[in-house]
A and B are shown apart, each in its own frame.
Chain A
């Protein structure tokens, strides 16, 4: 064998950069943030945007466990505002791995979650004097309070003339996180004769935004709000803000169902988009056979925009837009047959598990269910309020993402 006596094995004195990256990239976000203090080269490595992106990429593609956060808005005495569901440890308790943000007790009853992307969660609440908006990274326990937004002349928060709607997303083109604020007039009463039945039904459980008066965008990178001149496409009368599973952000485009006025009737006919990089509205066609149907939901399936829609037999069809923005590429990929009146489709998790709710008349609550396509098992994990806009389901993503606003 050897012609020289074996040497005592040496240990690596200075870990080469490549090996160090490969190790640190596998450390969870919170201890990593702390490890910036180990040394200057470590701080340099851990602060590099390329490192943070690669770390995020591994978190997003970690298929081993998928932890869902169910965020409830508003005041529900018997429900926590945040609960978790983990496919590996279903009984995972929230405080075991993240600390919920500190919200003033007086604001508990009006906390609203706006959305989540890349491990950041955006929400707002009202205090006696202000409307506070924060961006929270639960894996870092970091919270950023946004500066106040502009308000129309004479606007006051308890004024019932206006309503505020928010959407949060990520723009990969500018590598920026943005919050879009829509200010609209408060809706006319539900029994408006100009509405079809399903639009009325939708109004009971969802938030509809009409006649957008003002659009403002907050950029996390700039640390400031900016008024936008762009408005919804003219023929779109209203947009529906109801998505339970956050569908925004990855591709830099926000999506809403759009209600169009046709011969004096309002019906669900289009998808309204907002491109976060150029900050303007646009439109995407729905699949032809879906237009004008009774009840739909928007979602993401396998990274693609999808629509969940009921046919006349009350089967829930799932349509996927294969080629983003190309109307001809809508494809019906699956059907949940005989989806009863008591059920409501919410969307898909990142591992394509199907989330839906079942209404229990005894309790007057919806029960959240998750369907695993591989095993065809359905699991129940949460009761929730009937109003769709009160619930957001987001994936918990280990993330170092934090954009310190410009000074």
Chain B
């Protein structure tokens, strides 16, 4: 008996096939399958194809449960670029794949913890919305942190 296959569609309309028993590691997909049997294509309008390919690679892993934690850590380590990790973390969050989400967020947290404020802003594309006076005020308030 052949295993049941699901088709996932990325934001940019690429289609990916994955065996259902592997896809349902995502709680979001599991719920969709339960609701309508998911006979047709499952659209994932927030996940681009490059990220979805990574997610599929992760879901297809053939790891013994006791090695799983090391695997997911290595998996995100190998994709050490912050933009990629952010996309991956967001996809894992949307698809509710807890271990992958944990590992991707942990990796970003590890990377940014030693950054200067300017580096944090740059890496996460945040605009500095403070005037120099406001910045000084907050430094004074939390001077023990600097």
Binding site for B on A (CB under 8 A): 1-4, 6-7, 9-16, 18-20, 22-28, 30-31, 33-40, 42-43, 140-143
In residues 124-146 of chain B, which contact A (Cβ within 8 Å)? 124-130, 135, 138-139, 142, 144-146
Known: A40-B130, A141-B144. A24 touches B14 (CB 8 A): no
B15 interface neighbour in A1, A12, A22, Cβ under 8 Å: A1
Which residues of A lie under 8 Å from residue B114 when comparing CB positions?
Answer: 31
A143 interface neighbour in B110, B127, B144, Cβ under 8 Å: B144
Do residues A15 and B145 form an inter-chain contact, with CB atoms below 8 A? Answer: no
Shortest Cβ distance from A250 into chain B, in angstroms?
A: 25
A-B contact pairs, 10 of them (CB 8 A): A2-B49, A13-B125, A19-B93, A22-B89, A22-B105, A31-B113, A33-B144, A35-B117, A36-B138, A37-B135
A5, closest chain B residue (CB): B12
Known: A11-B87, A15-B86, A19-B90. A39 touches B109 (CB 8 A): no
Do residues B90 and A36 form an inter-chain contact, with CB atoms below 8 A? Answer: no
Do residues A11 and B90 form an inter-chain contact, with CB atoms below 8 A? Answer: no
Do residues B109 and A33 form an inter-chain contact, with CB atoms below 8 A? Answer: no
Which residues of A lie under 8 Å from residue B83 when comparing CB positions?
Answer: 11-12
In residues 24-79 of chain B, which contact A (Cβ within 8 Å)? 48-51
Do residues B117 and A18 form an inter-chain contact, with CB atoms below 8 A? Answer: no
Which residues of B lie under 8 Å from residue A142 when comparing CB positions?
Answer: 144-145
- Greatest chain B CB density within 10 A among A13, A15, A19, A24 is at A19
Which residues of A lie under 8 Å from residue B6 when comparing CB positions?
Answer: none
Which residues of A lie under 8 Å from residue B109 when comparing CB positions?
Answer: 23-27
B21 within 8 A of A: no
Known: A1-B15, A26-B106. A39 touches B86 (CB 8 A): no
Q: Compute how far the CA of A99 lies from the CA of B111 in the bound complex, rounded to whole angstroms.
A: 23
Shortest Cβ distance from A61 into chain B, in angstroms?
A: 13
Q: What is the interface of chain A mostly: helix, strand, loop, or mixed?
A: loop
Which residues of B lie under 8 Å from residue A28 when comparing CB positions?
Answer: 113
Shortest Cβ distance from A30 into chain B, in angstroms?
A: 7
Do residues B48 and A12 form an inter-chain contact, with CB atoms below 8 A? Answer: no
Which residues of A lie under 8 Å from residue B14 when comparing CB positions?
Answer: 1-2, 6
Shortest Cβ distance from A97 into chain B, in angstroms?
A: 13
Do residues A4 and B13 form an inter-chain contact, with CB atoms below 8 A? Answer: yes
Which residues of A lie under 8 Å from residue B93 when comparing CB positions?
Answer: 18-19, 22
Q: Compute how far the CA of A65 lies from the CA of B15 in the bound complex, rounded to whole angstroms.
A: 42
Shortest Cβ distance from B130 into chain A, in angstroms?
A: 7
A33, closest chain B residue (CB): B145
Do residues B49 and A22 form an inter-chain contact, with CB atoms below 8 A? Answer: no
Which residues of A lie under 8 Å from residue B120 when comparing CB positions?
Answer: 35, 38
Do residues A38 and B121 form an inter-chain contact, with CB atoms below 8 A? Answer: yes
Classify chain B's interface size.
35 or more
B95 within 8 A of A: no
Do residues A6 and B87 form an inter-chain contact, with CB atoms below 8 A? Answer: no
Q: Compute how far the CA of A24 lies from the CA of B138 in the bound complex, rounded to whole angstroms.
A: 19
- Greatest chain A CB density within 10 A among B86, B128, B142 is at B142
A137, closest chain B residue (CB): B144
A12, closest chain B residue (CB): B86
Which residues of A lie under 8 Å from residue B11 when comparing CB positions?
Answer: 7
Do residues B135 and A4 form an inter-chain contact, with CB atoms below 8 A? Answer: no
Q: Compute how far the CA of A25 lies from the CA of B89 in the bound complex, rounded to whole angstroms.
A: 14
B105 interface neighbour in A7, A26, A141, Cβ under 8 Å: A26
Shortest Cβ distance from B70 into chain A, in angstroms?
A: 13
Do residues B125 and A22 form an inter-chain contact, with CB atoms below 8 A? Answer: no
Which residues of A lie under 8 Å from residue B144 when comparing CB positions?
Answer: 33, 140-143
Which residues of B lie under 8 Å from residue A34 when comparing CB positions?
Answer: 117, 142, 145-146
A39 interface neighbour in B15, B89, B112, B127, Cβ under 8 Å: B127
A7, closest chain B residue (CB): B12
Which residues of B lie under 8 Å from residue A39 when comparing CB positions?
Answer: 121, 126-130
A14 interface neighbour in B50, B105, B125, Cβ under 8 Å: B125
Q: Compute how far the CA of A268 lies from the CA of B87 in the bound complex, rounded to whole angstroms.
A: 61
Known: A23-B105, A23-B109. A37 touches B13 (CB 8 A): no
Which residues of A lie under 8 Å from residue B49 when comparing CB positions?
Answer: 2, 6-7, 9
B23 within 8 A of A: no
The 6 closest A-B pairs by CB, nearest first: A33-B145, A26-B109, A11-B83, A2-B14, A7-B12, A9-B50
Q: Compute how far the CA of A98 lies from the CA of B15 in the bound complex, rounded to whole angstroms.
A: 51
Do residues A9 and B48 form an inter-chain contact, with CB atoms below 8 A? Answer: yes
